[in-house]
Amino acid sequence: MTKFPVDAPRRKVIKALVSLGFQVVREKEHISMIRENPDGSKTPLTMPNYPKIKGSTLRTICTQAGITREEFLEVYDKT
């Protein structure tokens, strides 16, 4: 099983999440993102606005967003 990157660059993480359907709503101390689902519901996502995102934080972000590890890593590796 592939591991999450130890210190992932913030911009690369945002690009991966945008590829998964999220849009940046606000960017201050934290980055707020939202995804509109096919059933009309919305999935919110909040992540810290740090230059590097730790692997443990990425796991929490994926859990919060309902994204599997494999989905995220597949898109992250392509960006």
**What's the CATH code of the domain at 11?**
3.30.920.30
The answer to whether residue 44 is domain-embedded is yes
**Backbone φ and ψ of 46, nearest 5°:** -125, 135
Instruction: Give the CA distances from residue 62 to residues 6, 20, 40, 79, in Å, rounded to whole numbers and listed in that order.
Output: 15, 11, 20, 17
The answer to whether residue 51 is domain-embedded is yes
The pLDDT score that the predictor gives to residue 25 is: 97
Let me know if 65 is exposed, middle or buried by CB neighbors in 10 A (0-12, 13-18, 19+).
Answer: buried
Question: What's the structural domain count of the chain?
Answer: 1
Per-residue pLDDT of the chain (79 residues; tens, 9 = 90+): 678 888 999 999 999 999 999 999 999 999 999 999 999 999 999 999 999 999 999 999 999 999 999 999 999 999 8
d(CA 74, CA 19): 11
The pLDDT score that the predictor gives to residue 6 is: 87
Domain range for residue 26? Answer: 7-78
The pLDDT score that the predictor gives to residue 1 is: 64
The answer to whether residue 32 is domain-embedded is yes
The answer to whether residue 2 is domain-embedded is no
Report yes or no: 6 and 77 within 8 Å, Cβ to Cβ. Answer: no
